[in-house]
A and B are shown apart, each in its own frame.
Chain A
Amino acid sequence: MSDLIQLLTPEGERVEHPEFRFDPGPGVDEAEMIRGLLRDMVLCRRLDTEATALQRHGELGIWAPLLGQEAAQVGAGRALRKQDHVFPTYREHGVAWCRGIDPLDMLSTWRGTDHGGWDPVATGFHLYTIVIGAQTLHATGYAMGVQRDGLVGTGDPDRDTAVIAHFGDGASSQGDVNEAFVFAASYNSPVVFFCQNNQWAISEPMERQSRIPLFKRAQGFGFPGYQVDGNDVLATYAVAQAALQRARDGEGPTLVEAYTYRMGAHTTTDDPTRYRLSEDVEHWKLKDPIARVEAYLRRNGLVSDEWFAELEAEADALGVRMREGCHALPDPSPLSPFNEAYAEITPELETQRDEFAAYLSGLQGAAPEVTR
């Protein structure tokens, strides 16, 4: 039997799995829940295409698209509880969406007005991490803190807390990620390592990082690992949910490998035609995470045309909001780097800031064009 955990086939058929099942939770209507997941995925896709277009129009410096990874991100994102904490890479726009982050706040990093536009404490969604793999250690340490605060295994669903770290297949090669596995195992920390194996690390295929399926590595570190169909939102939700619950129950770390595919480029500056076969892309299009949920809902009469029309209108509105809002994102003051470098500015830096401020105002008087 295949290791891949699947609950909804690419054709939109529900299938059973001996260990995992899609459970929307008490009092939640299943069809309603699935429509909600579809809505999230559709809006995330729109968010992503809109941002890609904004980059093409020069409004963003660069963008890391999530096209094809909507199910992995929305499944994991919706399985979180309010008190859980997320440590993302730079591509987790779908998880950010599920955490209620304003899409405009997601754009600011890529536009270059900010290094992270949201409040990590209020949202439980930490800042994007660009240095590959570094956040897996932060997540593990955070989980060690949660443990020390007595917030695992209390049995109170509003208190027990899990931490999730997102990373890619390429990241699995980094020392930091392997060290995170060691620490998490050693302290039995309440952390879920959620790897989106999208097959590529820029131009390098999965085989360059590992000879065995990634989820199997967990065993070597002493905790369970699962491989889930990353294009199946019911399965990613179910597996993430179980892994997060294990963490909240105080049973320690889990590695989840969401097996998916990066349909677009690595970033808007990348050219995948230099290394990737177009047949592969065509093959993966047939596994589109959105199409299969739509097929399931339609076939079973669980959704109406009006519902889709409303969703499309909502997506259009999101697009408009992003286009208008992106342009209006304010540039920071040139003095902000000085004020933000430390909690308590140093006397030296204060002097440097004041001299620079005087220089800038002198320039404005003398030759306005040089301040751009």
Chain B
Amino acid sequence: MSTVTLAKALNLGLRRAMEEDPKVLVMGEDVGRLGGVFRITDGLQKDFGEDRVIDTPLAESGIVGTAVGLALRGYRPVVEIQFDGFVYPAYDQIVCQVAKMHSRSRGRLRLPIVIRIPFGGGIGAVEHHSESPEAQFAHTPGLKVVACSNPVDGYWMLQQAIAHDDPVVFLEPKRQYHSGKAELDAAVGPGPLFASRVARAGGDVTLLCYGPTVKTCLAAADAAATEGRSLEVIDLRTLSPLDMDPVLDSVRRTGRAVVVHEAHMNLGMGSEIAARITEKCFYSLEAPVLRVGGFDTPYPSARIEHEWLPDVDRVLDAVDRVLGF
């Protein structure tokens, strides 16, 4: 079909979901005429009209709260949060209302809402534009949380999330919107949405990652290969639910695992994954599961974010440590 960036793939995915289901709505700040601050919704308002691509007032709680009402009325709102740090004004609506409606109504009500959040750092931005809030949502029962890492996944996962009947927090690695392209072949259908994927096979150490760190881990695996080390890279793709079987299979073979994410390490995804690996394959482990992540400080100013974010060197350092055990 065509070679596209992640931004374009998401745009095409949204377009196709809107074509296939007239109940799909896109809502958010600047999503209409501007096409979103990252242009993910570019051209959609022109083709689907202002009633389906809704430029909202500047109020995140309002955006998510009204999406709840629209979903209750049978629509499938896809909400755009402009930047990760601006989801917090909507946090109450997401964790107290969106997440709980199904259980409160004893399954009578469904909220098929997708909340798209560009996440992660490395773009040289000011405060609140580079956060990784995934654990806050993965910690909340009733929400599903997924993260795409490449154009093909972006295209399919977004459509699958929209078609899914539970609310989905959909994380997009903003740093990769325009970096790198991939072939999008619509004839090759998607795999399951809530499944992790082996992005690179290897036998010495398992690297676990998602979103922006997939690229970092693949680069680390390339670098390690030049030294004769073979790293397996698993793109988790789904953070809640976690798809642990491929992870456990891999760790049983390699005996060593490193989890890599940009979010703070304290109570982050890495902690959960390390705990599950320890519970399920303790006897296969040759070393403790290590985490490489953002430190437990507020996200730093842009001039030093490259020190703070996990990079290839920090990943390789952790690989050295698990191999040295």
Partner-B contacts on A (CB < 8 A):
61-62, 90, 109-115, 130-132, 170-171, 173-176, 201-204, 208-209, 269, 274-275, 331-334, 336-338, 340-341, 348-349, 352-353, 356, 359-360, 363, 367, 370-372
Contacts and interface: CB of A to CB of B under 8 A. Distances in A.
A203 B38 CA distance: 13
Interface in B295-325: 295-298, 300-308, 311, 313-314, 317
Interface stretch (B54-62, B149-157, B241-249): B54-62
B66 to A, nearest CB: 12
A202 B37 contact: yes
Given A61-B126, A202-B29, A349-B297, 6 more contacts: A173-B62, A174-B89, A274-B35, A275-B33, A334-B308, A341-B298
Contact of B307 (A112, A113, A360): A360
B124 A203 contact: no
A337 B58 contact: no
A353 to B, nearest CB: 8
Given A334-B307, A334-B308, A341 B58 contact: no
Interface residues of B, number: 42
Nearest to A331: B303
B125 A332 contact: no
Contacts, number: 123
B297 A204 contact: no
Contacts of A175: 59, 61-62, 89
A111 B124 CA distance: 9
A336 B295 CA distance: 12
B86 interface: yes
Given A132-B58, A173-B57, A274-B33, A337 B295 contact: yes
Given A203-B30, A203-B33, A337-B304, A174 B59 contact: yes
B112 to A, nearest CB: 25
Contact of B300 (A201, A337, A371): A337
Contacts of B301: 109, 112-115, 332
Given A130-B126, A173-B62, A348-B296, A332 B29 contact: no
Interface string B47-85: 000000001111101100000000000000000000001
B253 interface: no
Contacts of B314: 359
A115 B88 CA distance: 19
Minimum-distance CB pairs A-B, first 3: A112-B302, A203-B34, A173-B57
Contacts of B311: 370
Nearest to B302: A112
Contacts of B55: 203-204, 208
Given A131-B86, A203-B33, A359-B317, A336 B58 contact: no
B297 A337 contact: yes
5 contacts: A114-B301, A170-B57, A201-B58, A203-B55, A269-B37
A367 B58 CA distance: 47
A291 B85 CA distance: 39
Contacts of B295: 337-338, 349, 352-353, 356
B127 interface: yes
Contact of A61 (B37, B302, B308): B302
A341 B296 contact: yes
B30 A115 contact: no
